[in-house]
Structures are given as structure tokens and as C-alpha cells.
Amino acid sequence: MATEASRLRERPQLRGRKTRHGAASAADPIAGMMPGPLRPPVNPGLKRAELLAMHRHLLLNRLVEEKLSALYRQGQIVGGLYSSLGQEAISVGSAFALRPDDLLAPMIRNIGSLLVRGVSPRDLFLQFLARYDAPTHGKDGTLHFGNVEKKSLIGPISHLGTLIPVMTGAAMAARMRGEDRVALTYIGDGGTSTGYFHEGLNQAAVLKLPLILIVENNGYAYSTPTARQFAVESLAERGPAYGCAGESVDGTDILAVYAATLRAVERGRRGEGPTVLECRAMRMRGHAEHDDMRYVPKRLLEAWRGRDPIGRFEAFLIEEGHAVRAELRSAAAALAPELERAAAEALASPLPPPEEALKGVYWEPGYERPWWPSA
């Protein structure tokens, strides 16, 4: 009988770019990104407290981003601001499937992963506002920070795809040390076309390293639809092409994301190698705050609007008797003053002195390792 790993290699169970209208084509490049059949979420065995913790992090993810967007529009945040609106279940669900010592490398939209790993909203506001007390002492205005020793976090790299060989190396280092750890990182659909994707994933597959590579497929690489990038039905097919597992799930279903990530984690711990996990979810904001998404057809956005990950999860919690609507509303209301305080503290924090820009470029005392978190 075929093992699970061999079955996934032979032909992953994909709900990819074919629809009842047929495969996506140049004539209708968005057909393959229309949402598939709406399936009810299935609890993979989580307790009520765990489900409510998931819900809290989903809310926290969205509310932090909403506050960041407001600060950006007030001119308090400079540079780019990259939203994950509509994709929060991917970050939160995948991070929940990891142990605290598993290696995690978020990208610039994965605020939810950082929140699950214990990064505070205050730290995030400090970072985006480029304050001296931020994890990077104000040198950066996005998520380029981490701490392997204290948080098992590896910071993102702006050049897309480069984290994949980095996390392949991190997984190999953990194995050489005899550590039972997996390594997880993210990439967008467009980033799978980079050479780094090929090099990192191929090496992980050859060495059977415990790497989980989550492909956040929102149908567009900036403004280029996937039908004009790829001929495959699903990007999860790239897993078996490299000799490793591949799965595709609805990225708006946090329980499906969690369960699929957990399966990938378990395969990695058993020595069965990496997994390419495609999570399909339409991001409901543009590439960055300045992008109005006019290139995305309205019918595609409307089709995905009913798949809001928070709304779907709340409906599940109520239907299964884990919460009542008033309780869920209270949870959101309780977070608002907490985030306002965190943002106010960050705004009141000092900017870095000019000379800080030159510090830590080369080795010097006090910059040998990340200062954040201080405790």
C-alpha cells in the first residue's frame, strides 16, 4: 500500500485552477482564481480554548493592520505598508501548527505569524513607526527583524525567494545538531518563479529536510494574473515535481490551513522531507497601501468577499457551540483600547539619533546579536 508521502508525490489532491467553466485561459485569466465550492470548516481536534485563541489572533492581525493603515494615511508611517487583508488565516493557522522552538521565517505580510509567536502589537507599531525602541532601532520600517535564540524567528529578506534557501540551511543546521525542529517560511505565487525557489526547494527535497514552504496564492504577482505566469493547475504541483509532498487548501479556512500545516510538520519530523503547501486566498487590498487594485476585476473581488476568514471562522464557532455572537463581539471590543494604548506609546517614543544609522553596519560592541527582545 502506498504511503501518504508517496501518494502526495504521485498526484496531490489539488483544487487548483480548473473550474466548472474549464481551465483558465488568456481569454479569461481570472477563471482559475474564482473561489471553489464552499466547504464547511472541520475541527481537526482542537479544544475550545485553542479555537478561541485562534480567533483572538485573527482579530489581532486585522486590527493591528487597520491601525497601521490609519497611521500610514496620517503620514506617520513612511515607505511601503503591505496588507494581508483576507489572508490572515494563512499566517495565523500555519503558525499555530508549529512548536515554539520550530524555526519560523515570516514575510512582510505575515504579521499574524509574528503575533502567534509572541511579538507584541507595541513592538510592531514601534517598528513600522521607525522608533529607536523598535527591534531594529528605527533603521527599518517593516518586518525585517528576528531573534533565533529567543524566539526561533528568522527575519524576512526583501528579495523574494531568498528565504527559501536560508530556511533550507536552517533546517539542515537543526538536523546536524540533532534538534527535532522544522523550518517554515512563506512565498507568494510570483515568487515561485525565482531561482532561489528552485535552488532552496530542490536541495531540501534531495536532503529530505523538514522544510514547510507555504505558497500564498492570491492570483496576482503584483498586477500579473497567475494564468499568465503558470500552466499548472495549482502551484502545489511543484512539490511532486521536486520529489516532495504538495497540498492545496482554501486559505480562508483557518482550520484547513492549520490541519494541512500540521500534516506537513509531521511529515518533516518523520524524515519524509519538505512540503509545498499552496493556500489560495484573494488579498482584498493591493500590493501596498498606494496600490488601488484597479487591475483586479470587480467580479473576482466580489466572489472572494464572501470568504472573509474571520467571518467564516466566527460562523463555525457559533454553529459548533464554542461561542455566541455577543462573546465574539466582546473579544473584538476588548482589543481596541489595548491597541490604541500600544500605538500611543509607540508614537510617543523617540526617533533614533542620526548617528544610529551608522551603528551595527559592521561588528561592534552591543551589536553582536539582536537586542530585541530585551527580556
pLDDT per position as a tens digit, 356-369: 999 988 888 888 88
Judge contact between 53 and 325, C-beta under 8 A: no
pLDDT mean over 140-162: 93
For 187-202, what is each residue's pLDDT tens digit? 999 999 999 999 999 9
For residue 25, what pLDDT band results from cuts at 50, 70 and 90? Answer: low
Q: What is the phi/psi pair of residue 22, to 5°?
A: 105, 180
Q: Domain 47-76+83-350 belongs to what architecture?
A: 3-Layer(aba) Sandwich (3.40)
* Residue 211 binned pLDDT confidence (cut-offs 50, 70, 90): very high
Does the pLDDT of residue 158 top 80, yes or no?
Answer: yes
12 band by pLDDT with thresholds 50, 70 and 90: very low
What is the C-alpha to C-alpha distance for residues 365 and 375, in angstroms, rounded to an integer? 19
Cβ contacts of 285-292, under 8 Å, gap ≥ 24: 285/83, 285/85, 285/86, 287/82, 287/222, 287/223, 288/80, 288/81, 288/82, 288/83, 289/69, 289/72, 289/73, 289/80, 289/81, 289/82, 289/83, 290/80
- Between strands 220-221 and 224-225, the pairing is antiparallel
Average pLDDT rounded to a whole number, residues 281-287: 94
pLDDT value, residue 27:
62
Contact 216, 251 (CB under 8 A): yes
Closest CA to 280 of 188, 201, 150: 188
- 233-275 pLDDT per residue, tens: 899 999 999 999 999 999 999 999 999 999 999 999 999 999 9
Is the separation of the CB atoms in 245 and 212 below 8 Å?
A: no
Confidence of residue 26 (pLDDT cuts 50, 70, 90): low
Alpha-carbon gap, residue 235 to 215, rounded angstroms: 8
Dihedral angle at the C-alpha atoms of 292, 296, 298, 300, nearest 10 degrees? -130
And the C-alpha cell for 135? 527591534
Residue type (1 letter), 247: E
Name the residue among 203, 215, 119 with its Cα closest to residue 165: 203
Which H or E run includes 188? strand 183-188
Residues paired with residue 215 on neighbouring β-strands, in sequence order: 187, 278
pLDDT in tens, 127-137: 999 999 999 99
CA 79 to each of CA 75, 76, 140, 290, 294: distance values in angstroms, whole numbers, following the listed order: 10, 10, 10, 10, 21
48-73 vs 254-269: helix crossing angle, rounded to 10: 110
| Residue 276 to residue 278: CA distance in whole angstroms | 6
CA distance 162 to 159: 6
